[in-house]
Amino acid sequence: MEHELATRMRAVERYLLGELSDAERDQFEEHFFDCQACAEEVRAGAIFEANARAVFADPPRPVLQPGWWDWVRLRPAFAASAACLNLLLVGGMGYMGWAVRGLRTQVAELEAPQGYSSFALRGVTRGDEQVIEVPKESRFFSLSLDLLAGQSFRQYRGEILSESGARLFSVTLPRPRTPGEPLNLLIPASSVEPGRRYTLIVRGLEERSTGTPGSEIARHNFLIQRN
Amino acid sequence: MQPYEFDGDYVRRLAEGDPTVEDHFGRYFGELLNIKLRARVRTRAMLEDVRQETFVRVLETLRQKQGLEHPERLGAFVHSVCKNVMFEKFRDAARQGPLDADAQDRPDGRINAEDWLISQERKLLVESVLQELSVRDRELLRMVFFEEVSKAEACERLGMGGDHLRVVLHRALTRLRERLAKRKAQLGRPSNQQDSVKRRRLAVHYTVRYSDGT
């Protein structure tokens, strides 16, 4: 038997399975006694057959149910994803904790008694600006302005505009309890930047005596500085 | 086992009793003879008889003729000698009549003849190969090799085509050969001292054995 034919007809497997005719078996045996490649395959086959029989003859070992860790260990892609997710969760929770601690501190600081500087806005020549020097340690400062006669409304609205004219915030201002008292506006120091110019516009709401509702009753330009 | 080229030099050294070549010859053809004979003889004793007689006759012939006309056909020569020895043994056994009652109770000759193939390490290797097969393929091999269900019936029971068994076996053998080769590479060659001790032992072994036969 030629090696080519032996390979083509899968002689090794057929020999081990006893599927060759007597003549074919003799021819193949003669061949693998001469052919070291086929001899090696037959030898491996005999080892496999004998040891497989011995393995099957062994009493079955108790099959251990794979635990969740085995399940994870056998799926590296899942394990990697789960590890990333865990990392994100831990990181997220850490960040949340840090942020919450910061917020608590800020709330506690806000709730604590504190002083603030108050600045009276005065009428200035058109185009001029008033310099507001806010102390560095102050968290708030207040702006107050006197109402002129005929500017009595139920409420007022104060708007702070930036240099570009963008409205930074708008807040309703209660009318003074007694006539002659100024309007007061408390501003967080962190909402304005030193060296920048701002404009406060005050509008009267819900006409009581004179004036048009929503109409501008005062406009003040000011420059913020921190010292 | 290191591959050898079966050529004039190998045959000459074998005829001259070179212990290294004798060692290789005994192990290489010993395994092939076992494989050939295990399906044909019933008992381990018979297998050993045929094997030893084959070795003796091959070596005698080589020594008398100072080699072989076609040394590259040494394997075919060993095979033909083995066939002759085996038929002679069968004829002798037939002349001696049917087996006695005790002989019927002898353990399965094939299992005995396979002892040399089985080792704990090989079992583990084969087990690892079996574990990599699908449950159905493993069951197929179990039925054929262990339960000795006919191949046709095993394939039918598992709803497989007739060729599937050969494919499964081929796949398993390929993996086993890879593992055996890897294991062999890990073990490496024995040290020179171990090698020379082994050669001396084998030389004594063959001298005693063959001188008894001649």
Q: Is residue A65 part of a domain?
A: no
Position B102 confidence tier, pLDDT thresholds 50, 70, 90: very low
Read off the pLDDT of residues B46-84 as tens digits, 9 standing for 90 and up: 888 899 999 999 999 988 877 788 888 899 999 999 999
Residue A67 forms part of a structural domain: no
User: A14 vs B166: CB contact, 8 Å cut-off?
Assistant: yes
Query: Which chain A positions have a beta carbon within 8 Å of B114's beta carbon?
Result: 46, 50, 53
| CATH number 1.10.10.10 given to B119-187 | yes
Could A33 and B29 be called an inter-chain contact, meaning their C-beta atoms sit closer than 8 Å? yes
Instruction: Specify the pLDDT at position B171.
Output: 86
Q: Which of residues 27-56 of A touch B (CB under 8 A)?
A: 29-30, 32-36, 39-56
**What is the nearest CA distance from A96 to chain B, expressed in angstroms?**
47
Facing B32 at nearest CB: one of A13, A39, A57: A39
> Residue A211 pLDDT > 80, yes or no?
no
Domain boundaries, given as residue ranges, for chain B: 8-111, 119-187
Q: Is residue A89's pLDDT more than 90?
A: yes
- Could you tell me if A106 and A146 lie in one domain? no
Q: Are residues A222 and A185 in the same domain?
A: yes
Chain A residues in contact with B29 (beta carbon < 8 A): 33
What single string gives the DSSP state of each residue in A110-154?
Answer: HHS----EEEEE----TT--EEEEE-TT-SEEEEEEPPPTT--EE
Answer yes or no: do A138 and A163 share one domain.
Answer: yes
Is the domain of A93 the same as that of A51? no
Q: Which residues contact A139 (CB under 8 A, 6 or more apart)?
A: A109, A110, A114, A116, A188, A189, A190
Report yes or no: B151 and B127 within 8 Å, Cβ to Cβ. no
A166 in a structural domain: yes
Query: Using CB atoms, which residue from B6, B35, B146 is nearest to A42?
Result: B35
B183-211 residue pLDDT tens: 777 776 544 444 444 444 444 444 444 44
Residue A66 counted as domain residue: no
Confidence category of residue B140, pLDDT binned at 50, 70, 90: confident
Q: What is the pLDDT of residues B5-48, one digit of tens each?
A: 788 888 888 888 889 889 899 989 998 998 888 878 878 888 88
Q: In this complex, how many residue pairs, one in chain A and one in chain B, have their CB atoms less than 8 Å apart?
A: 107
pLDDT band at B149 (very low <50, low <70, confident <90, very high): confident
Q: How far apart are CA B40 and CA B109, in angstroms?
A: 10
Report yes or no: A204 and A177 within 8 Å, Cβ to Cβ: no
Question: B181 Cβ partners below 8 Å, 6+ apart?
Answer: none
Is the same domain home to A106 and A122?
Answer: no
Cross-chain Cβ contact B117/A51 below 8 Å: yes
Q: What integer pLDDT is reported at residue B104 of this predicted model?
A: 42
Query: Is A103 exposed, middle or buried (CB count within 10 Å of its CB: 0-12, 13-18, 19+)?
Result: exposed
Q: B207 CA to chain A: closest CA distance, Å?
A: 24
Domain count, chain A: 3
**Whether residues A107 and A133 fall in one domain:** no
3-state secondary structure of B17: coil
* A104 and A129 assigned to the same domain: no
* pLDDT at B214 > cutoff 50: no
A100/A126 same-domain check: no
**Are A208 and A173 within 8 A, CB to CB?**
no
Alpha-carbon torsion (A30, A33, A37, A41), positive or negative: positive
pLDDT digits (tens, 9 = 90+) for A5-21: 888 888 898 898 888 89
Q: How far is B29 from chain A (nearest CA, A)?
A: 8
Q: What is the pLDDT of residues A124-133, one digit of tens each?
A: 665 677 899 9
In this prediction, residues A22-50 reach a mean pLDDT of: 90
Q: How far apart are CA B25 and CA B46, in angstroms?
A: 21
Question: Which region among A70-84, A172-186, B154-168 has the lowest average model confidence (pLDDT)?
Answer: A70-84
For residue A154, which phi and psi values (nearest 5 degrees)?
-65, -40
> Does residue A20 belong to the interface with chain B, where contact is any CB pair within 8 Å?
no
A51 and A141 inside one domain:
no
Q: What is the mean pLDDT of residues A95-114?
A: 88
Do A104 and A125 lie in one domain? The reply is no
What average pLDDT is seen over chain B?
77
- The band of A152, judged by pLDDT with boundaries at 50, 70 and 90, is confident
State whether residue A182 sits within 8 Å of chain B by CB: no
Q: Are residues A121 and A220 located together in one domain of the fold?
A: yes
What ipTM was assigned to the predicted interfaces of this complex?
Answer: 0.74
CA distance A102 to chain B (A): 56
> Domain range spanning residue A98?
72-111
Mutation test of the interface with chain B: which of A19, A55, A63, A74, choosing the one with the most B Cβ atoms within 10 A? Answer: A55
Q: Are residues A87 and A130 in the same domain?
A: no
